[in-house]
């Protein structure tokens, strides 16, 4: 036994991809099509997807907001785990991506579960009049605004709901004083991590899957 985590090597990651974190053909094709359509390869990782699906089922979630949807990979991953009456609102700022997501949602037969909104989440969130409605807010958009997204969406969460955010390890640069890339985003994530850890009404942890998945449980 060791108190230090087992490093996920390429071989271990391949094992995960072929077992616990296997993605279905639809999702792997979606990644290929996204790349062919010129989208960057910055979706959540397969093990993050597997965990989010597990969480949605374990907590019997029904209503989710996603901020930052790219080609719809994480939105479709999560919606697959929702019950028939579940709803996921996917907010994406880029109108070309939104067109692509809508096509994919239709292809996946998930039109009844996913609503795609073409908007800047910074202006869209404050307009949502839905206090204590959502089981989870999942943020994977512009890193400079994570704190803003947390502040603007915490009232939308039910007590017992989860605020989740990707990139808690800041592209692997979280402990680097002089990050080699995206220094402003790395700084913003560090500040956000400090901020969310201080929230007394939330219980927060970080799972070291993908680039670090922050999970913050609303206590009251």
Binding site for ligand SAM (CB under 6 A): 42-44, 67-70, 73-74, 91-94, 97, 120-122, 140-142
CB 220 → ligand SAM: shortest distance, Å?
28
Are 93 and 30 in contact, with CB atoms under 8 Å apart?
Answer: no
User: CA torsion 175→181→185→186, rounded to 10°?
Assistant: 0
Cβ proximity to ligand SAM, 122 vs 158, nearer residue = 122
Give CA–CA dist 187/159, Å, rounded: 30
Measured from the CB atom, is 181 or 203 closer to ligand SAM?
181
DSSP secondary structure string for all residues of 155-188: GGEEEEEEEEES-TTGGGTTT-SS-SS-HHHHHH
Q: Please give the helix or strand (H or E) that residue 216 lies within, else none.
A: strand 213-218
Beta bridge partners of 165: 139, 214
In the complex with ligand SAM, the residue whose CB is nearer, 67 or 196, is 67
Q: In the complex, what is the shortest distance from the CB of residue 1 to ligand SAM, in angstroms, rounded to a whole number?
A: 34
* Residue with smaller CB distance to ligand SAM, 74 or 153: 74
Q: Please report how close the Cβ of residue 106 comes to ligand SAM at its closest, in angstroms.
A: 17
Distance in Å, CB of 123 to ligand SAM, minimum: 8
């Amino acid at each position: 036994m060791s108190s230090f985590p087992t490093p996920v090597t390429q071989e271990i990651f391949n094992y995960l991809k072929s077992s616990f974190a296997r993605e279905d053909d639809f999702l792997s094709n979606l990644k290929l099509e996204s790349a062919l359509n010129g989208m960057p390869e910055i979706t959540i990782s397969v093990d993050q997807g597997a965990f989010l699906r597990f969480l949605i089922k374990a907590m019997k979630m029904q209503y989710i907001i996603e901020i930052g949807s790219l080609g719809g990979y994480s939105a479709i991953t999560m919606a697959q785990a929702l019950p028939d009456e579940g709803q996921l609102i996917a907010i994406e700022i880029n109108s070309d991506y939104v067109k692509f997501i809508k096509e994919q949602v239709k292809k996946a037969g998930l039109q009844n579960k996913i609503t795609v909104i073409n908007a800047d989440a910074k202006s869209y969130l404050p307009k949502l009049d839905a206090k204590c409605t959502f089981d989870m807010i999942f943020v994977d958009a512009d890193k400079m605004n994570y704190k803003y997204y947390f502040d603007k969406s915490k009232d939308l969460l039910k007590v017992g709901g989860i605020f989740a955010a990707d990139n808690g390890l800041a592209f692997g640069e979280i402990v680097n004083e002089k990050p080699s890339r995206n220094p402003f985003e790395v700084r913003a994530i560090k500040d956000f991590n400090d901020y969310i850890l201080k929230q007394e009404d939330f219980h927060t942890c970080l799972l070291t899957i993908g680039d670090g998945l922050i999970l913050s449980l609303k206590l009251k």
